[in-house]
Chains A and B, each alone.
Chain A
Amino acid sequence: MAKVWDPAGSYDEAKAKAALAKLESEIEVLRDNPGKPKSDLKKILLYSSAIALFLIPSAIFLRIPELFYYPGLIILFIGFYTLHRYKVLARKYIKLQFMRSADWVFYPGPEPNRGLQMKKAFPELFDRGDEQYFEDQFWGTSGEIPLHGGIFHHITYQKGAKVSNTKKVEYYWHYAAFRIKTKNHRFLLSPESTFLKLRNLFSDKEINTESIEFNKEFAFSYPGSKEEKGMHIMKALSPAVQLRLLELKRKRGEFWVLFAPDCIIFMMKGKLIENYSTNLFKDIEVSQQDIDTVSYFFNDLVSIAKDIVRHLD
């Protein structure tokens, strides 16, 4: 593996290796004992049946329903937690298999303090919510273009009338950054809001590219004045770049892209792997279909990004 490039300049190899070793050891345990997920569930079912057999008659006889409710809730929680844990493990396992095949460095799990670094380096994308977390990050190269990506997770606390009414809302995004050689002028491309789409029917946007379609779909935000930045933005968004971005929009739906001085970062909603067929309760092997899905996602994004980087460079 060549030297790792990180957009925030803060790749922690030791921590990444430790997190990867932990994941690999968990998978090793499963490999040695493929029936473990199933037997864990069976154990929970067995214990809960035994407890229920004892508690239901007691609760009825003593007329104390709490005797049944609370242990029932605890057992349910343990059951769901076990299911969730194996689902998360399956997702990380799929990613691990893909990262190995691509020869990319993988840092499974959350990285402490990464939120602050990324927020400071790229506030346009990562200064969202009250708390920011980064997990399942990866670093690698594709066709000599260094790249980095992962899952960005932020939490927003929506305050109600009372403190106890505060609601915790979680958002998940996946992102991928690609290094470029030519220095870019900083600007953010984001989906045009419905309100602004309507407004654009009556008046021109501040910056208009050649493509009507592109102007409909994307909005710009940038530090400084239009006179100062407009020309640089137009230069970066050459016709070929505009078409590639429109193609990505058609394939993936809404996305944000930050043109930073030495990289471009794409960010999309969701967890990267939402639906998958790998089921550790049935088989310890990762489904080829899942690896193909992740490969397709990356190959497609990397191809578009590489093309954009080529046009920018």
Chain B
Amino acid sequence: MVNWLVISGIGMVLLVILLFNSLVRLRNNVKNSWSGIDVQLKRRSDLIPNLVETVKGYADHEKKLLTSITKARTSLMESSDKKNIAFQDNLLSDSLRSLFAVAENYPKLRADAHFLQLQSELSETEDQIAAARRIYNENVAYLNTKVESFPTNILAKIVGFRSEDYYGEGMGSGRKL
């Protein structure tokens, strides 16, 4: 009887360790994929000042749009919580889309090699952001399933693991520039 109690006790401890480690690994994956989004957002932010300068040279009349892009970029860089980052990211994406739509009216700008290069780099970055968002959301889904399903939910409550929010739910999903 005592032997059985010892064996099941050891079994329980091992199970708890295993479940705890799996939760930690999933949480780290979510953090890791968040930093993936962060890297791509920074990369896009770095391209924007150059883009604004290039467009200014040809389309000075679009001051309002250019200012909104600069503002959105600054707000995004200053944001620290995920929800706000997702919101600002969406605003910036929309402004950039408007800018590229407006650029259609300026043939000289469309012919500028530097502008085309920036447009291509930004389009590539938008793709990467969209992919990073999807990976992040998939990872969050893994974590949330684990946190909410039995028996991990008990352990998660005890050690303080919580479900994470999906990135920009109901917001832009990386439409092409």
Q: How many A-B residue pairs have CB under 8 A?
A: 48
Instruction: Sort A-B residue pairs by CB-CB distance and give the 4 closest, nearest first.
Output: A239-B131, A240-B131, A210-B33, A239-B132
Query: B residues within 8 A CB of A211?
Result: 33, 135, 138-139
Distance between Cα atoms of A214 and B32 in the complex (Å): 14
**Which residues of chain A come closer than 8 Å to B138, judged between CB atoms?**
211-213
Given contacts A201-B22, A238-B131, contact A210 B32 (CB under 8 A): yes
Q: Is A61 an interface residue (CB 8 A)?
A: no
Binding site secondary structure of chain B: helix
**B92 sits at the interface (CB 8 A):** no
Nearest A residue to B29 via CB reads: A212
Q: Which A181-216 residues have a C-beta within 8 angstroms of B?
A: 201-202, 204, 208, 210-214
Residues on B with beta carbons closer than 8 Å to the beta carbon of A210: 29, 32-33, 35-36, 132, 135-136, 139
Asked whether A311 lies within 8 Å of B139 as measured between CB atoms, the reply is no
Residue A243 lies at the interface, judged by CB distance under 8 Å to chain B: yes
Distance of A214 Cα from B131 Cα, bound (Å): 13
Kindly state whether residue A242 has any CB partner on chain B within 8 Å: yes
Q: Indicate whether B176 reaches chain A with its CB closer than 8 angstroms.
A: no
B129 to chain A, nearest CB (A): 8
Residues of A within 8 A of B93 (CB): none
Closest-CB distance, A45 to chain B (whole angstroms): 60
Q: Is A310 an interface residue (CB 8 A)?
A: yes
Interface size on B, residues (CB 8 A): 23
Number of A positions contacting B (CB below 8 A): 16
Contact present for B135 and A243 (CB under 8 Å): yes
Closest to B26 in A: A212
Cβ of B88 within 8 Å of any chain A Cβ, yes or no, is no
Can you list 6 residue pairs at the A/B interface with Cβ under 8 Å? A210-B29, A210-B135, A210-B136, A211-B135, A242-B135, A243-B134
Give A contacts to B, CB under 8 Å: 201-202, 204, 208, 210-214, 238-240, 242-243, 310-311
Contacts of A310 in B (CB 8 A): 124
The reply on B128 being an interface residue by CB < 8 A is yes
- The residue in chain A whose Cβ has the minimal distance to the Cβ of B142 is A212
Chain A min CB distance to B126 (Å): 10
B 107-150 contacts with A by CB, 8 A: 124, 127-128, 130-132, 134-136, 138-139, 142
Q: A202-B18, A210-B32 are in contact. Are A240 and B139 (CB under 8 A)?
A: no
Distance in Å: Cβ of B145 to nearest Cβ of chain A? 11
Q: Which residues of A contact B134 (CB under 8 A)?
A: 239, 243
Least distance between B133 CB and chain A CB atoms (Å): 8
Q: Is B25 an interface residue when CB atoms closer than 8 A count as contact?
A: yes
- Chain B residues contacting A311 (CB-CB under 8 Å) are 124, 127-128
**Nearest A residue to B34, CB-CB:** A210
Whether the Cβ atoms of A239 and B139 lie closer than 8 Å is no
* Closest chain B residue to A200, Cβ basis: B25
